[in-house]
Amino acid sequence: MQIAVIGTGYVGLVTGACFAEFGNTVTCVDKDAAKIDSLIKGRVPIYEPGLDAIVQKNLKEGRLAFSTNLAEAIEKSLVVLLAVGTPDRGDGFADMSQIEEVARRIAFALNGYKVIVTKSTVPVGAAGRIKSIIDENKTSGVRFSVAANPEFLREGAAINDFLRPDRVVIGCRDEEAIAILKDLYRPLYLIETPFVITTPESAELIKYASNAFLATKVSFVNEIANLCDLLGADVKDVAKGMGMDKRIGPKFLHPGPGFGGSCFPKDARALVALAKDAGYELKIANAVIDVNEQQRELSLDRIRELVPDLNAKTIAVLGLSFKPETDDIRESPAIKIIEKLIAAGARVKAYDPASMEAAKAVLPEVQYCEDEYAAGRGADALVLITEWNQFRGLDLQRLRNEIRSPNIVDLRNVYEPHTVRSFGFKYVSMGRNRAH
């Protein structure tokens, strides 16, 4: 099948490359000519494990192309997937201007029946809005369908999530379009992926409700961890015991400095705004956002337990991206915590395997180091904020020799307290501080 993917950000690039991997002929379109030029050469601008290999292979085999020519890509495609940005417009609502602009341009380029599909996270009602824009602007009587097909990709695991998803959600009212989209996803039938066929509005809400629910689990366990510290319980055991109940499940029960990234914070706010606009107050989602903000401040309190006066102290930070296996620092807890450390007068040294370039642009005052040990050298405390695998097996003796004051704050509960303490460190983590 010939398809077009509009927008070569994170979602567009993974979607385009993976649909090409399924055997379709894909044109990925972006208005950023420099980005398209480098993609044509097989250079992928984001860090996502496995993505370069799939892009390069499908480019070479002729199933994947990159272009700035939107009209041409639409004209030759049966399915047009929209993966342009829907950022927070400042009041919690998603900014739909890029989607609306593309919808207008699709209307002018319609030269036969096409299925227009939203892949970006869009507010409930977006498919209806796209349909009206195309109807108002199309120059001929050509038929088209609009469908919502939200993505559930995790950064750092996006290729696997695309090729082996828990489910595919298709929101559409036209049987013909549903059949075409099922055909597009045919390889997933072979691995018995469940499909949810529903209305566009329900599909759009499934995406927001799923992200908000996962964010709820994170904020919930963060509050339980805070309570564990007051009551002398160990949150690792509490979460383990909870997660064994199949109705709860063990995933997304890891406490930490709060959720970040381009999705959870934005989508939780957008869901609250969407509900408010509909005349309903989502109390739980509101509390999830508040607890997440509080968790950033609480992370600083954890550091102050070992370094009470941060002024003129040197703090080593490990991990800057919002989670491991990505270079994405959007709404990263590490960035927020470093800002607070600097505001309190601390000098910050940092190391991250992938996101130091991105961090330099927003935090130029930080000293960026070549590895974990260089970051720890001469520091008054080492704070582990993002749980990259390479931080799980630090040479604690070497670190002990490099650091000025032997303090470790482990905001991801990566280490066992007794192991770290046996090297002479003082150790603070999340929800285990009075249990051991």
**Which residues have a catalytic role annotated?**
263
Closer to ligand UGA by Cβ: residue 127 or 379: 127
Residue among 19 and 264 whose Cβ is closer to ligand UGA = 264
For ligand UGA, the closer CB: 65 or 298? 298
- Residues 288-307 close enough to bind ligand UGA by CB under 6 A: none
**Residue 60 vs 89, nearer CB to ligand UGA:** 89
Of 385, 379, 260, the C-alpha closest to 319 is 385
Binding to ligand UGA (CB under 6 A): which residues in 107-126?
121
Which residues are CB-neighbours of 133 under 8 A, at least 6 positions away?
Answer: 100, 103, 104, 107
H/E element holding 427? strand 426-428
- Under rule CB under 6 A, how many of the chain's residues touch ligand UGA? 20
Half-sphere exposure of 338 toward its Cβ, with a 13 Å CA cutoff? 31
Query: Per rule CB under 6 A, is residue 335 in the interface with ligand UGA?
Result: no
Residues in 251-290 that interact with ligand UGA by CB under 6 A: 252-254, 256, 259-261, 263-264
Rg (CA), the chain: 24
Give the closest residue to 407 by CA, choosing from 370, 379, 433: 379
Least Å distance between CB 263 and ligand UGA?
3
> Any idea what the Cα angle at residue 161 is, between residues 159 and 163, rounded to 5°?
65
The window from 107-115, 249-257, 338-346, 350-358 that contacts ligand UGA (CB under 6 A) reads 249-257
The reply on whether position 414 binds ligand UGA by CB under 6 A is: no
| 99 in Cβ contact with 106 (< 8 Å) | no
Surface-to-core class of residue 60, CB atoms within 10 Å of its CB (0-12 exposed, 13-18 middle, 19+ buried): exposed
Among candidates 23, 1, 57, which has minimal Cα distance to 190? Answer: 23
Shortest Å, Cβ 211 to ligand UGA: 5
Q: Which is nearer to ligand UGA, 19 or 425 (CB)?
A: 19
Q: Which of 65, 214, 341, 394 forms a contact with ligand UGA (CB under 6 A)? A: 214
- Provide DSSP, 175-218: HHHHHHHHHHTHHHHHTT--EEEE-HHHHHHHHHHHHHHHHHHH
In the complex, minimum distance from the CB of residue 353 to ligand UGA, in angstroms, rounded to a whole number: 16
Candidates 269, 323, 347, 349: give the one binding ligand UGA (CB under 6 A): 323
Q: Say how far apart CA 436 and CA 416 lie, in whole Å.
A: 10
Kindly state the smallest distance separating residue 411's Cβ from ligand UGA, in Å: 9
Least separation in angstroms between residue 436's CB and ligand UGA is 21
Q: Restricting to residues 142-171, which ones interact with ligand UGA according to CB under 6 A?
A: 151-155
218 binds ligand UGA (CB under 6 A): yes
Give the nearer residue to ligand UGA in terms of CB position, either 252 or 423: 252
Alpha-carbon separation of residue 9 from 25, 44, 199, 213, 433 (angstroms)? 19, 10, 26, 25, 41
The residue among 211 and 407 lying less far from ligand UGA, judged by its C-beta, is 211
DSSP category for residue 50: T
Residue 154 CB, shortest distance to ligand UGA, in Å, is 4
141-178 burial code (b ≥16 CB/10 A, e <16)? eeebbbbbbbbbbebbbbbebbbebeebbbbbeeeebb
Binding residue (CB under 6 A) for ligand UGA from 8, 58, 149, 211? 211
Strand partners, 5: 28, 81
Q: Is 114 helix (H, G, I), strand (E, B) or coil?
A: strand
Of residues 353-392, which lie at the interface with ligand UGA (CB under 6 A)?
Answer: none
Q: How far is the CB of 110 from ligand UGA (least distance, A)?
A: 29
Applying CB under 6 A, which residues contact ligand UGA? 121, 151-155, 211, 214, 218, 252-254, 256, 259-261, 263-264, 322-323
